[in-house]
Structure 1
């Protein structure tokens, strides 16, 4: 009976991340990440600007994602890693991501994951929370 290892977020090493983007995020890695951070195919479809059918095709063919999509996947993963570190408990961060945020334009932070600007806005807000600066 093998015990599955707990999920370990990607390291922030720029060269490793660059190589991972260039090689493409493998679908099994994407699946583990999705399960860990509680994002479903419909949400990923929106964030990656890919149809659910295309994502299912990646799964069926056990393909790695193209660099453009791999980069967004890793940006989101790093954001979640940062958010969990700031909140201290993953579930608290997940709840925050699903709660309307006045400083982020009265939307749920999760709704901003479809652009680099949105991801950066969430990072900035996490920095303010981390340093006790609440808007």
Structure 2
């Protein structure tokens, strides 16, 4: 599986894919700097692999049209808006992986429709910041045993 190439052993046995970019523990100031500078293109590639998608599917999630994707690949860097959307997806993946303790299960959860999200998948629902916050709230409720 493609994710195997990204896996590294961790001393505590945690899934190393849970927070691949460090979005849950990186200081906010550092995240802001990285987003403003634009993520290196390989971070979109790495997210694509973890989500089990084609590059175009991952780019669609991040709101990057096909022609722009080709330019970003050539330039080697995403713009700040695209980086922010990649960060949004990465954060949801990290939170879902923490909740389910497994990157593969988190990926499947994010791609499966949820009644609490009007029948949409968490990834589709998170195409806006407001939707992403609702997915985060859903993850929080599930982690704390609140199913409604």
TM-score (norm 1): 0.86
Question: Does 1:30 pair with 2:48?
Answer: no
The answer as to whether partners of 2:113 and 2:121 remain within 8 angstroms in 1 is yes
Q: Which runs of 5+ in 1 are unaligned?
A: none
Change (3 A) 1:39 1:116: farther
Q: Which residue does the alignment assign to 1:115?
A: 128
Displacement of 1:4: 6.9
RMSD, aligned α-carbons? 2.0
Distance 1:39 1:4, change over 3 A: closer
TM-score (ref. length: structure 2)? 0.79
Deviations 1:103-122 (Å, cap 9, x if unpaired)?
A: 11111112123211111111
Q: Partner of 2:105 in structure 1? A: 92
Structure 2 residues not aligned, in runs of 5+: 9-16
User: For the residues of structure 2 that align with 1:33 and 1:70, how far apart are their CA atoms?
Assistant: 12
In the alignment, which residue of structure 1 is the partner of 2:12?
A: none
Listed one character per residue, the Cα deviations across residues 80-124 of structure 1 (whole Å, up to 9, x for unaligned) are 111100111111111111211001111111212321111111101
Structure-1 residue corresponding to 2:58: 44
1:1-135 alignment runs, 5 A limit:
6=8, 8-10=20-22, 11-62=25-76, 64-135=77-148
**By how many angstroms is 1:19 displaced?**
0.6
CA distance, structure 1, for counterparts of residue 105 and residue 93 of structure 2: 12
Shift of 1:5: 6.6
